[in-house]
Amino acid sequence: MRQFFDDMHGTDGEVRAAYAEIATWLAQTPPHALNAKREEAERLFRRIGITFAVYTEGGDTERLIPFDIIPRVLDADEWAFLERGLKQRVTALNLFLADVYGAREIVRAGKLTNEHIDTHPAYCAQMQGVTPPGGVYTHISGIDLVRTGANEFYVLEDNCRTPSGVSYMLENRSVMMRLFPELFARISVEPVARYPQDLLRTLRSVAPSSGEDPCVVVLTPGQFNSAYYEHSFLADEMGVELVEGIDLVVRDKKVFMRTTGGLKRVHVIYRRIDDDFLDPMVFRPDSTLGAFGLMEAYRAGNVALANAPGAGIADDKAIYMHVPEMIRFYLGEEPILNNVPTWDCANEGALAYVLDHLEELVVKETRGSGGYGMLVGPHATKTMRDDFAKKLRLNPAGYVAQPTLALSTCPTFVADGAAPRHVDLRPFVLSGADGIRIVPGGLTRVALTDGSLVVNSSQGGGTKDTWVLHTRQNGGK
């Protein structure tokens, strides 16, 4: 049996200081009372309408992401460490993007090749030579972290193309506060509710100067998109319009929205549609989700897009390996947060190693997301591994491999009471022309199946509220 670090019990079974109050609460609350709270939570989520569409399921396309009522806790020191690391990493990612679409110093320094960049599927040629306002490319970044020990955190992946999940971070907190006010009275938890205001400030900071009060909008593909709830939630919380492509029109390289009073100028678009759909004039001609001429307006500096087109090149799984090097190169600092060791299957030696060690590795598509198309070696059957090996040999450059990390667990309320389940953490990092903002916490995702390491909601994962303690808790260890 492999030993996992448990967020609450560490490795020796003793309750860690940050969880002292939670442990008491769990010990004093009978299971049926917890179960009643769990049911109440589910009713609340349904009533608010926080649902998530899952593409592969037929019938009811609106499904609830399971919510676990036991919070995941980080103490103030742990968070301070993560925050420093996240700021450093996202600063480097933005500098990397500015370099990729600008001078290409990193190529001159021999760390990457031009070919590497130019042939990359997420590279956006339209962006070459364009400097977005404030030099910011990835305004909203979701950095997926995992924990393997008391002081061991790893970055699993970076998400620089419209990462989602922040609405769950916010709604999870508001549901927890409603269900367990007494816990919040006893434990001093850093609030997360300022996120929408931070986001709006960040977006306004990159508005082109036009003399007008900048108009910010959220661009959604529409109500049948899986993350539609989040789009409308964020627009509402920020107090800005939620627009669809049909609401936008470009005139004289300026973007407008159709309103009841005629056309109104738009300065910043927080777009929740992919690059390919932004502008049928330069990208997919069949797209109706974006606006014709949007890129021309963007290149003319008349509108800001968050995140910038082409920002995805920074979060690719093959580029990921180079992030520690980027941090040294652009910032002259040692990386604070570790990368997971990664084998790039495009490399022949690495491919041979990966094929030999499939049963202990996780193999991911470099372009995949949402947990689709990946192999978790230790949990796969021999047939699955053999089939995967065939795919791998056919297109080695399409895959990277990582060791299966001993992801930490956190007590989770399941059918037979509280039991350890594996978790990860996605904090949301906001980068504006005026600096970086991070709300303490993030989205904790939990693999609800015993032993499972896949936390993605599309694969049956759930979420937890994430508590960052305001001050260090005394006592314990």
- 333 lies in the binding site for other proteins (CB under 8 A): no
- Under rule CB under 8 A, which residues in 252-291 are in contact with other proteins? 257-261
Nearest Cα residue to 246 out of 278, 215, 291, 185: 291
| Least distance to other proteins, CB of residue 237, Å | 9
Cα 308 from Cα 310, distance rounded (Å): 6
Among 223, 356, 357, 419, binds other proteins (CB under 8 A): 223
CA angle 375/442/312 to nearest 5° reads 55
| Least distance to other proteins, CB of residue 201, Å | 19
Nearer to other proteins by Cβ, of 239 and 417: the residue is 239
Residue window 17-46: x/- pattern of binding to other proteins, with contact defined by CB under 8 A? -----------------------------x
CA angle 324/329/331 to nearest 5° reads 90
- 229 lies in the binding site for other proteins (CB under 8 A): yes
Instruction: Check if the beta carbon of residue 291 is closer than 8 Å to that of residue 273.
Output: no
Nearest Cα residue to 291 out of 251, 326, 249: 249
| Least distance to other proteins, CB of residue 213, Å | 16
Q: Which stretch binds other proteins (CB under 8 A): 12-20, 72-80, 224-232, 378-386?
A: 224-232
User: In one letter, which amino acid is 315?
Assistant: D
- 53 lies in the binding site for other proteins (CB under 8 A): no
Nearer to other proteins by Cβ, of 173 and 317: the residue is 173
Nearer to other proteins by Cβ, of 113 and 223: the residue is 223
CA angle 194/200/206 to nearest 5° reads 140
- 241 lies in the binding site for other proteins (CB under 8 A): yes
| Strands in 300-434 per DSSP E | 304-306, 338-339, 343-344, 361-365, 375-376, 399-403, 409-414, 417-426, 428-432
Nearer to other proteins by Cβ, of 3 and 260: the residue is 260
| Least distance to other proteins, CB of residue 303, Å | 17
Nearer to other proteins by Cβ, of 225 and 456: the residue is 225
Among 6, 78, 158, 244, binds other proteins (CB under 8 A): 244
Close Cβ partners of 259 (under 8 Å, ≥ 6 residues apart): none
Beta bridge partners of 141: 429
Nearer to other proteins by Cβ, of 125 and 246: the residue is 246
- 193 lies in the binding site for other proteins (CB under 8 A): no
Q: Which stretch binds other proteins (CB under 8 A): 241-249, 292-300, 358-366, 367-375?
A: 241-249
Q: Collapse the DSSP code of 413 into the 3-class scheme (helix H, G, I; strand E, B; otherwise coil) and give the result.
A: strand
- Under rule CB under 8 A, which residues in 355-394 are in contact with other proteins? none
159: cis peptide before it, omega within 30°? Answer: no
Among 207, 243, 268, 326, binds other proteins (CB under 8 A): 243
Q: Collapse the DSSP code of 7 into the 3-class scheme (helix H, G, I; strand E, B; otherwise coil) and give the result.
A: coil
Among 33, 36, 48, 193, binds other proteins (CB under 8 A): 48
C-alpha of 90 from chain center: 12
Cα 202 from Cα 427, distance rounded (Å): 16
- 327 lies in the binding site for other proteins (CB under 8 A): no
CA angle 247/248/253 to nearest 5° reads 165
Helices (H), 239-377: 294-299, 317-320, 323-326, 348-356
- 58 lies in the binding site for other proteins (CB under 8 A): no
| Least distance to other proteins, CB of residue 217, Å | 9
| Least distance to other proteins, CB of residue 176, Å | 18
Cα 89 from Cα 326, distance rounded (Å): 9
Close Cβ partners of 210 (under 8 Å, ≥ 6 residues apart): 265, 267, 302
Cα 392 from Cα 398, distance rounded (Å): 8
Cα 106 from Cα 387, distance rounded (Å): 37
Among 19, 123, 228, 330, binds other proteins (CB under 8 A): 228
Q: Which stretch binds other proteins (CB under 8 A): 228-236, 399-407, 423-431, 457-465?
A: 228-236
Among 148, 225, 232, 452, binds other proteins (CB under 8 A): 232
| Least distance to other proteins, CB of residue 123, Å | 34
User: In one letter, which amino acid is 294?
Assistant: L
Using CB under 8 A, count the residues that bind other proteins: 23
Residue numbers at the binding site for other proteins (CB under 8 A): 46-49, 222-223, 228-229, 232-233, 235-236, 241-244, 246-247, 257-261
